[in-house]
Structure formats: structure tokens, C-alpha cells
Amino acid sequence: MRALRLVGWQRDSEFADVEVPEPGPGQVLVRMGGAGVCHSDLHLLHEFPPGLLGWPVPFTLGHENAGWVQAIGAGVTGLDEGLPVAVYGPWGCGTCRTCATGAENYCSTLPGNSPVAGLGVDGGMAEYMLVPSSRFLVPLPEGLSPQSAAPLTDAALTPYHAIAKARSVLTPGAAAVVIGIGGLGHLAVQILRATTDVEVIAVDTKPEALALAKACGADHLVHASACAEDAIRNFTRGAGAAAVIDLVGSGATLEIAAKSVAKNGQILIVGLGGGTLPVSLLGLPYGVSVTPTYWGTRPELHEVLRLAARGDLRATVRTWPLSRATDAYAAVAAGTVPGRAVVVPG
């Protein structure tokens, strides 16, 4: 089968012919229906030097995945061939205290850079994908296709998890800021709309991104300029935002977050922009917490898929066939994809 693979660090991905894997005991082979193109893959391809993550190459890309059960290994129960499923991305040990709650994204046994599908081991940019345990598969609710579900496994699950972390301050009438209205950001706006009663303030540099935020339900739009925090303070009547969800993570966006968060508010850092946020007694409003978050939990993926199935959450998707997956990555790198790029095998 054809697969798009990372063949070396700081170089472009390449297509290769690889064997279709056979599922062993406890494993499941998934026929791919869609694989999302995440901006973090661009960091993986072009920025990380050899040895930084300790992952051997080559491996197949694609960590946002959904499809149909193709074959099951010995001992797997509860999954029928042909069942549409989403693949839960962060693979933990399954037995530690945090994994037992479904929070395998914070597995306390495996290291933080432990390889998972598309990030160190073979992912979904292929016709088939091997999943090491049936617990990483979530059956899709009726009416939700694998093509639609694939980007939700990261681009929706990740902001959903960050928003859940801030739930205690997202009270009716409070304000939440979403910085970066791309693949994750346009879904973050929808999640806030569907699960809270806050004013949503969207921040970006691109007019088309802000227009997408408005279409997704944002109450206020702010250009990410030097005076962005003034506009946010104005919209919040001087109080600042109860939560700032930074999906970029650059020095500039973290500065906006620090200057626009309210007392006792929360800054949630999701993006891999490489910025830093100095924390000191007088450097932030009193009571502010700063939380870097990673992906989401298995129970939260169930919740995200239910939101999508009932129409409260919908990814804006542009699709490419697997044969043109490199074009999809190029479009994401150029910033010309509104919402999420999805590669569809076949």
C-alpha cells in the first residue's frame, strides 16, 4: 500500500510502498477514511533535529485518524468488521492512575514524547493503519462519517480539553479569548458556543480567519496587533478575559494573553509557537494560572463526537486524495487552508 512517510529529520516527506500490517493479539487493522493534516507535523518535518525526540525513522505520518474496522486480532471483542471508528491519538500504558481515568494523554508511566500513531510510529496517511489496542477506537455516532470525524480527534479534542480545564472560570457572562483561528481555533469557538454561556473573542492576523470565527459564532473579532489587549479589555469592560486559549504559543501571542487575562483567570497554552511566558508575582494579574495542555482524554473524545453528531460542532474541511497528500501539507504550510485539511485514501 502507498503511505506518506517521514524518512529523515528536517526534510520533506516522501511516498513509499509498504506492506499492509497484520493485526496481532489485541490489535485492530483500520481501513482509513480520513487523516487530518496538523500544523504540528510541519514542525516535525522541518524543525526538529535528529535525536531530539528519540524516534526512529521512517514512519508513516498522520495522527488525526478515522476509518472502518478492517480486521481484528485474537482476543479483541466488541468490534465488528466494517464498524466506523475514530482513533484516539495519545496512547498511554493503559494501567497507571491517569490512564485508568481515560487521561492517557497524561500517562504517568510513559515519557512525554513516547511515540504514537503518526508521531514516531506508523499513522494514518496510508490505506490502512494498525492500532495496537481496541481501547484506542471509539465507534462513531450515527450520521458522522470517518472523513468528518478524523480532524475532530485532535483539532477538536485538543481545544475541548483546554476549555474543560478552564470550566470553573467560564461562568455565564464571562469572556473567553481564542488566539489563532485555524484548524483548532474555529472548532474552539464552536465548543465554547456549545458548552458555555460566555462571550467569545477571536484573535488572529488574517481577515479570512476572523471571518471564519464570526461564522462559527464568535461575538467579537480582534486583529492580533500591538494593541490587541486594549481591544480585549474594551470588550470586557476593563475586566479582562476569564480564560485565554492560545492556540499559537508564540512570544507575541503569549504577551497578548498575559495582558488580556482577568484576575483569577486562566491562560491555557496549546500552540507549539516556541514562545515563553515569564511568570512572577507582579508579572501577571493576581490569581492567574498558566497551564500547558496536551491533546485530550478518551472520555472527552466521546463527548466531542457526540457534539458533532448532533450538529453543534462541525469542522470546516478541505480534502485531498492520498496521492496528493504532499500538496495538502504545502497548502497548510502556506496558510491557505480555512479550517482543516483532510487526506482521503482512494
Q: Given this model, what pLDDT does residue 314 score? A: 96
Q: Which residues of 185-224 are buried (b: 16+ CB within 10 A; e: fewer)?
A: bbbbbbbbbebbebbbbbbbbeeebbbbbeebebbbbbeb
| Packed helices 185-195 and 298-309: angle between N→C axes, nearest 10 degrees | 80
| Packed helices 298-309 and 157-165: angle between N→C axes, nearest 10 degrees | 110
Nearest to 69 by CA among 55, 88, 83, 58: 83
Task: Report the alpha-carbon distance of residue 110 to residue 116 in Å, rounded.
Answer: 11
Place of cell 483567570: 265
Q: Given this model, what pLDDT does residue 346 score? A: 75
Q: Given this model, what pLDDT does residue 43 score? A: 87
- What average pLDDT is seen over the chain? 96
Q: For the purposes of burial, counting CB atoms within 10 Å of the CB of 309, is it exposed (0-12), middle (13-18) or buried (19 or more)?
A: middle
pLDDT tens, 140-186?
999 999 999 999 999 999 999 999 999 999 999 999 999 999 999 99
| Packed helices 39-46 and 325-334: angle between N→C axes, nearest 10 degrees | 100
Task: Report the alpha-carbon distance of residue 128 to residue 117 in Å, rounded.
Answer: 12
- Cβ–Cβ under 8 Å, residues 241 and 267: no
pLDDT tens, 46-90?
888 888 888 999 999 999 999 999 999 999 999 999 999 999 999
Sign of CA dihedral 204, 210, 216, 217: positive
Domains and CATH numbers, the chain: 2-154+296-344 (3.90.180.10), 157-292 (3.40.50.720)
Q: Given this model, what pLDDT does residue 225 score? A: 84
- Cβ–Cβ under 8 Å, residues 89 and 154: yes
pLDDT in tens, the chain (346 residues): 999 999 999 999 999 999 999 999 999 999 999 999 998 898 888 888 888 888 999 999 999 999 999 999 999 999 999 999 999 999 999 999 999 999 999 999 998 888 999 999 999 999 999 999 999 999 999 999 999 999 999 999 999 999 999 999 999 999 999 999 999 999 999 999 999 999 999 999 999 999 999 999 999 999 998 799 999 999 999 999 999 999 999 999 999 999 999 999 999 999 988 899 999 998 999 999 999 999 999 999 999 999 999 999 999 999 999 999 999 999 999 999 999 999 999 7
Q: Given this model, what pLDDT does residue 178 score? A: 98
